[in-house]
Structure 1
Amino acid sequence: MDETLPDVRDFRLAEDIVVPLRERLPEVAVQTIGAITATVPAYAEAFAGELGAKIEKAVRAALGTFLNLVSRGAGPDPGSPLAPAIEAAYALGRGEARSGRSLDALLGAYRIGARVAWRQFAAISVSTGQPAPTIARFAELVFAYIDELSAASVAGHADELASSGRARRRRLELLAQALVAGDPPEVVIAAAERAEWAPPQTLTAVLVPERAARSMADLFDARTLHVAEGGPELPETTVLLIPDAQGPSRGHLIRLLSCRGAIVGPARPWLRARDSLTRAIRVSRLDVRAPAGGAVDTEDHLLALVVTADPQALADLRDRVLAPLSSERAATAAKLVETLRSWLLHQGRREDVAAELFVHPQTVRYRMSRLRELYGDRLRDPQWLLMLTVALAAAQAAPS
């Protein structure tokens, strides 16, 4: 662009040469449009509709601008006629991006238009007796001018894509924030429509370290939503809302997240994504470790979530069911509690209890005899067995 623009500005044609070119300009414009329509299918429909007249006017203006440029007087001219043409080409590039089209058709139209216009202008110039060097130089300037317009359209197209991309990313961020905040359905649905985001059946909340999130953009469904910060409770954590990761897809998701320190919530209907995030946050507070350093699946920690839902209630329950052991020495009580827990979980199978506790089956028999003395008929009461099972299983399932 920097090499061709001075050539266009420096070159001048005498007015008597430009006059016949200008008189034939409407004819050249029509022929140029005809060639573009026949050669670039993407523009055939546009030229045939109401837009056709506007495009014909634009083509005529571009050709007229070129003639104005090469026929004006010598000397500095701050009001160069090239500027409006560059602005129009830039706007045309932006319009193509807004319409969802690439620049292939537009740049093809520029090339075809340049060839056709040059042939017509050259024929007119030859008919008026212009010398060959002047005509050759004129050809260079026609194509330099088209290069200027093409470059402006490319810039406009790129700027529009960048601008619209930023705007859509922002709309997607607002949608994600509405989902994790648990906003009313009508608010979330409106946000999804503004973001042009097609709702899935379910969303699964995943907590990942911020450093890992940067390398995961291409791993998931393109509809995956991101919330850059998990809030005060989860500093340096990114929340991902991943579409349709239920059923067999959940196993695939867990494998994708291996070795990334992620916590995967349950799949929930997309409008209830907040529920999935809440579950993941609760598991993040537990002292749990992922297998082999991979992702934590919240489905593997449902018992811990249940028994820690109300820590004070759990403590009161333990105090109540362990009250019969209050007269025992601390060391003895601890062994009895351990044995009772294993006995409940193994449904009274003495050999299994002994294997778990690494003691002789006779030791298990002795301890259970003592427990029956302390608890009496309560060890046959279904309600007491339920309370004992929950309270003592919690010692294993809940974090210390």
Structure 2
Amino acid sequence: MTTPVTPDRVSRPQPWAQLPPEISATIGPVVPELVATIIRNIPREITEYARPLDGEFGAAVRRGVETALQRLLIELPGTDEPPFTPEGRAIYRTLGIGEARTGRSLEALLSAYRLGARLTLRSVSEAALEAGLDARVLLNVGEAIFVYFDEISAASVEGFAEEQSRQMGERDRARAALLNSLLSTRVDEIEVRRLAARAGWVIPDRLIALVVPLENAEGLRLRLGDRALASARGGQAVAIVPEPSTPTAHRELELALAGRSAWLGPGRPWTAVNESLRATMQTLGVPSVDEPRWVVDHVVEVVLASQRELVADLAERRLAPLDEAGETQRERLLETLEAWLRWRGERKKIAEELHVHPQTVGYRLGQLRELFGNALEDPQSRFELELVLRARHS
């Protein structure tokens, strides 16, 4: 049955569709060495896998790595195809099933995927830079890599959850499957309605996803109530709840999460609640506090924290004029530059913020103009400087 397109649900192209098809020829040669690098680093960096990757398990891991890189880097660029073939999806579901059968949590496998994503981004970025590809292409490559590894993780989570659900009661199994189905990339509306009926769960028009570290999640199901669907995913407790429709409901949800380091995603139609979850998962690099926070209230902080490596590369390039400055001088010039950007050059306000004399501000600005030259007059350069300076505080 074809799902009708509604105003709330607009089809979006896959991120790899934005990549030029010829990029496969540029990055294809790095694939064999990248496979070896990932396989070599998994037992080094993931404690649970600190053993030779041989036998049936090792073969499954190697097959998963090879299939992922071949699909992502060679087959998908320039296309709007789905991330997996049926056979490819089965590989990652099977890895999740295997983790459940060993009695491990899924965190080790998801950590291996995150490691693979980091190594892939590093290797592909180096190859792309050597080939002289545009920076915008690099950003698209980064998005494609992280979305693809998100899809791999989701397939393994699905396999893991389904294996675990065999031990649950009928209602709990239905609720777990319902949560999994709602959080999948392509929601099967008929299946969701069938599972919701089995679970006795009325589907709200709009939902939000929220995440809480597992160490803060004790009693979370009870606090959120029966209207919430919750499970553990990759070191986080993940829940979906109806989007608060009134200020009172908004406060009640925050009260239920009081004292917990929780992130709440944006509201979405129930057919797209996975987008809300994806937004919350981008917060993992943001320093935690023991209170609930809404992603929409911290968008810049979240975006900068989720792209630390790219922001660090940008900072290295944009702040290079300060490389020869001493530590104290560099810090003073950085805080002056940040205030200058914030106050659009108003010396009086800059001086008030920095608690210095306006003449001191003028002297420092003269140094900055000498070091940075025309970059301070270029809108794109100023924007990038503001980004990297703001990232220092995230």
- TM-score w.r.t. length of structure 2: 0.51
Q: Quote the offset at 1:336 in angstroms.
A: 0.9
CA deviation vs aligned residue, 1:1-53 (integer Å, no higher than 9, x gap): xxxxxxxxxxxxxxxxxxxxxxxxxxxxxxxxxxxxxxxxxxxxxxxxxxxxx
Q: Quote the offset at 1:386 in angstroms.
A: 1.3
Q: Pick from 278, 285, 307: which aligns with 1:310?
A: 307
- Judged with a 3 Å threshold, the aligned counterparts in structure 2 of structure 1 residues 331 and 213 are, in CA distance, closer, same or farther, namely closer
| Structure 1 residue matching 2:277: 3-state secondary structure | helix
CA deviation vs aligned residue, 1:121-148 (integer Å, no higher than 9, x gap): xxxxxxxxxxxxxxxxxxxxxxxxxxxx
Partner of 1:265: 265
Counterpart AA for 2:333? L
Q: 1:393 aligned to 2:393?
A: no
Q: Quote the offset at 1:371 in angstroms.
A: 0.9
Distance 1:325 1:298 in 2: 33
Partner of 1:369: 366
Partner of 2:203: 199
Distance 1:349 1:247 in 2: 42
Long gaps (5+) in structure 2:
1-167
Q: Quote the offset at 1:303 in angstroms.
A: 0.8
Say whether the 8 Å CA contact 2:221–2:230 is kept in structure 1.
no
Report how many residues are paired: 225
- Judged with a 3 Å threshold, the aligned counterparts in structure 2 of structure 1 residues 247 and 313 are, in CA distance, closer, same or farther, namely farther
| Structure 1 residue matching 2:283: 3-state secondary structure | helix
Q: Quote the offset at 1:355 in angstroms.
A: 3.0
Q: Pick from 333, 336, 339: which aligns with 1:339?
A: 336
| Structure 2 residue matching 1:177: 3-state secondary structure | helix
Alignment of 1:232-311 (within 5 A): 234=235, 237-245=236-244, 248=247, 249-289=249-289, 293-311=290-308
Alignment of 1:343-354 (within 5 A): 343-354=340-351
Partner of 1:188: 192
Partner of 1:324: 321
State the identity %.
33
| Structure 2 residue matching 1:223: 3-state secondary structure | coil
Say whether the 8 Å CA contact 1:188–1:271 is kept in structure 2.
no
Counterpart AA for 1:239? V
Say whether the 8 Å CA contact 2:268–2:276 is kept in structure 1.
yes
Partner of 1:173: 176
Say whether the 8 Å CA contact 2:338–2:389 is kept in structure 1.
yes
Alignment of 1:1-400 (within 5 A): 166-186=169-189, 187-208=191-212, 215-217=219-221, 219-220=223-224, 222-227=226-231, 229-231=232-234, 234=235, 237-245=236-244, 248=247, 249-289=249-289, 293-396=290-393, 398=394
Counterpart AA for 2:381? W
Q: Quote the offset at 1:276 in angstroms.
A: 1.9
Say whether the 8 Å CA contact 2:223–2:257 is kept in structure 1.
no
- Judged with a 3 Å threshold, the aligned counterparts in structure 2 of structure 1 residues 381 and 211 are, in CA distance, closer, same or farther, namely closer
Counterpart AA for 1:203? L
Counterpart AA for 2:174? R
| Structure 2 residue matching 1:308: 3-state secondary structure | helix
Distance 1:242 1:308 in 2: 25
- Judged with a 3 Å threshold, the aligned counterparts in structure 2 of structure 1 residues 245 and 182 are, in CA distance, closer, same or farther, namely farther
Say whether the 8 Å CA contact 1:221–1:242 is kept in structure 2.
no
Q: Quote the offset at 1:217 in angstroms.
A: 4.7
Q: Quote the offset at 1:218 in angstroms.
A: 5.6
| Structure 1 residue matching 2:183: 3-state secondary structure | helix
Q: Quote the offset at 1:339 in angstroms.
A: 0.8
| Structure 1 residue matching 2:202: 3-state secondary structure | coil
Counterpart AA for 1:207? V
Q: Quote the offset at 1:380 in angstroms.
A: 2.0
| Structure 2 residue matching 1:207: 3-state secondary structure | strand
Say whether the 8 Å CA contact 1:176–1:225 is kept in structure 2.
yes
Structure number with bigger Rg:
1
Distance 2:310 2:213 in 1: 33
| Structure 2 residue matching 1:200: 3-state secondary structure | coil
CA deviation vs aligned residue, 1:102-135 (integer Å, no higher than 9, x gap): xxxxxxxxxxxxxxxxxxxxxxxxxxxxxxxxxx
Q: Quote the offset at 1:226 in angstroms.
A: 1.8
Counterpart AA for 2:329? T
Q: Quote the offset at 1:382 in angstroms.
A: 1.4
Distance 2:219 2:309 in 1: 41
Distance 1:346 1:372 in 2: 16
Distance 1:216 1:317 in 2: 40
- Judged with a 3 Å threshold, the aligned counterparts in structure 2 of structure 1 residues 312 and 211 are, in CA distance, closer, same or farther, namely closer
Distance 1:259 1:326 in 2: 42
Distance 1:368 1:341 in 2: 11
Say whether the 8 Å CA contact 1:254–1:297 is kept in structure 2.
no
Counterpart AA for 1:254? E
| Structure 2 residue matching 1:240: 3-state secondary structure | strand
- TM-score w.r.t. length of structure 1: 0.50
Distance 2:214 2:382 in 1: 45
Distance 1:247 1:303 in 2: 26
Distance 1:387 1:214 in 2: 42
